Structure 1
Amino acid sequence: MNKLQLKKLQRKLLLTLLSLPLVLLSACSSTPKNDYDLNYDFASLKSFSQVTPPANNDPLSASRIQLAIETALANQGFVKQDTNPDFNVTYGFKVEDKPKDSGFSIGLGTGSWGSSGGASIGTSVDVPVGSDTAKIQTIQIDIIDPETNKLVWRGSDKFTFDDGGQAKAEETNATVAKILAQFPPQKTAD
């Protein structure tokens, strides 16, 4: 292998290694799911009221979700109105254990020394320290017609966390915003 071929191989391996984290990050992010009443007129919705779900054993998460819903809807131009709203919004959430990913990884490398060069492949195994599970929080948001009390739109998404605090609060806000970014649904022309 001459120097030119070696340099091309090194560049190709480097570009592959640099793009790998982007591929892995996009594979880890989730996409919110939603469903809705195909015959409902979402265009007329301007104001909302929150319906508090029954008490649960995680009041911190509940209050974060409520505030995130109010903020996301206000950012979309909806007005909070306790009497005679155009729609009611409520939510539910659950937390489940998720086994942490194994720490097996493969590495590629190239290098040159003087007039010679080479490439190598290596593996490593990561031994998790602490808990071998993470938590997954799933959030479901429901939009209800106040006149009929029927569900007209539902969205959900989830995120993984290890600890609570600021990071979990930020992830809650981001997840609620992603869910509600799909509301109201945009009907496509057939």
Structure 2
Amino acid sequence: MTTAVRTAVALPGLVSVALLAGCTATAPSRVRVDMAEGGLPSCKTFEWLPTQQQPATLTEQRVKGAVLTELKKKGYSEAEKAECRVTYVLNVHERPKNKPSVGVGAGGGSGGIGGGIGVSLPIGKRNEQAGTFTIDVVDAAKNAQVWSGSIDATFEKAELNEDEVREVVTKVLEKYPDRASK
């Protein structure tokens, strides 16, 4: 068997292997919800439960505003001695923005067949912030968590901007019961 014929026979197999190696499956982020076994209490009013004893960060202030706005749209109201309290948790870590990639090429001409495989490795400090954003609802009378909704997301920085906050809060609270429609 000539070299050109062996290359023509082996090339489709190499292309398949390289394509499979270069593919990564990324599922879109979905909201995960967990609820207490007894179900949700019949909360009509909410208050914000601060995350720390220190002054509120910009992210916390933005999240508080967005959460309370979304809950009001759903038919709930804010009160000092509310039936439920709401807070959030944000766990963020840095990860490379550009992942290594594999490229495959094949071609022919002048009676020969050729192919090539290339690998791209990111160089530099182009990283993004990835993490999990969670909203928790606590029954004030029992002082127990009764609902939790979370989503995995990427952010520009560890300190979330207005648009990022609005997007994750809206997505998570889509899963929280709507009182306005009742």
> Normalization by structure 1: what TM-score?
0.63
Contact 1:53 1:91 in 2 (8 A): yes
State the shift of 1:148 in Å.
0.9
3-state secondary structure, aligned to 1:97 = strand
Post-superposition CA distance 1:47-105 (Å, at most 9, x none)? 1111111156981211111111111111211111112x221111221221122242536
Which consecutive residues of structure 2, in runs of 5 or more, have no partner in the other structure?
Answer: 1-23, 106-114
Same amino acid, percent of matched pairs:
25
1:17 matched residue in structure 2: none
Contact 2:98 2:122 in 1 (8 A): no
Q: Classify 1:49/1:58 alpha carbon distance in 2 versus 1 (closer, same or farther; 3 Å).
A: closer
State the distance in 2 between where 1:91 and 1:76 align: 18
Structure label with greater radius of gyration: 2
3-state secondary structure, aligned to 2:86 = strand
State the distance in 2 between where 1:126 and 1:56 align: 45
State the distance in 1 between where 2:58 and 2:40 align: 34
Which consecutive residues of structure 1, in runs of 5 or more, have no partner in the other structure?
Answer: 1-23, 109-120, 186-190
1:68 equivalent among 66, 69, 75: 66
1:81 equivalent among 61, 79, 82: 79
For the pair 1:39 / 2:38, whether they are aligned, the reply is yes
Aligned length: 150
For the pair 1:133 / 2:131, whether they are aligned, the reply is no
The one-letter code of the counterpart of 1:87 is C
> Normalization by structure 2: what TM-score?
0.65
Contact 1:158 1:175 in 2 (8 A): no
For the pair 1:93 / 2:86, whether they are aligned, the reply is no
Q: Classify 1:124/1:140 alpha carbon distance in 2 versus 1 (closer, same or farther; 3 Å).
A: same
State the distance in 1 between where 2:118 and 2:61 align: 42
State the shift of 1:135 in Å.
0.7
Q: Give the CA RMSD over aligned residues.
A: 3.5
